[in-house]
Amino acid sequence: MADKHEIAVFAGGCFWCTEAVFSQLKGVLMVVPGYAGGHTENPTYREVCTDSTGHSEAVRIQFNPDKVTYQRLLDVFFETHDPTTLNRQGADRGTHYRSMVLYANDEQKDQAEAYIKELDSSGSLRDPVVTEVVPLETFYEAEDDHKQFYLNNPDQMYCQIVIQPKVDKVRGVFAEHLR
């Protein structure tokens, strides 16, 4: 019997980081890096990096809602990037690094908007959340060399300095939800 599945799409900076973080979770069946939220059809990584396509680096997560909820995915998403910085995550700058929840249905939209409202009112962040909540129109898969980048390049400096701390954070905060 095949697993039940739903789709979630998030953009939270570099898709190598986001893919590595979500790939660890129980109930996540597949994570694919790509591009979403823009106007250019079939964009390439090089084009997206020019900030002329309107796309963000994003991940499409196929998940089993009986094993991991959309709410838990939101928890991980907001815990592992800075949703208060506009068009930037750390040293990565540009509109293609903006924070976005690309919702697949009204339920996801409502949950994301409620999450952001709660996060803003909690006082836990110094600045307001700038994460966009927009409908998922089209998701374009990234080129093969961007898929499973962290897994395939663990010794690469970016993986060690930027991705590893995010992976470690998920292992600490969400240990009971890991594979």
**17 given a catalytic annotation:** no
Distance CA 27, CA 44 (A): 30
Residue labelled with tokens 């823009």: 38
> At 85, is the secondary structure helix, strand, or coil?
coil
> At 91, is the secondary structure helix, strand, or coil?
coil
Catalytic residue among 14, 17, 49, 159: 14
Q: Is 128 left (phi over 0), alpha (psi -120 to 50) or beta?
A: beta
Closest Cα partner for 82 from 101, 98, 102, 71? 98
Cα-based distances in Å from 125 to 52, 78, 91, 145: 30, 11, 20, 35
133 in Cβ contact with 106 (< 8 Å) = no
Catalytic residues: 14
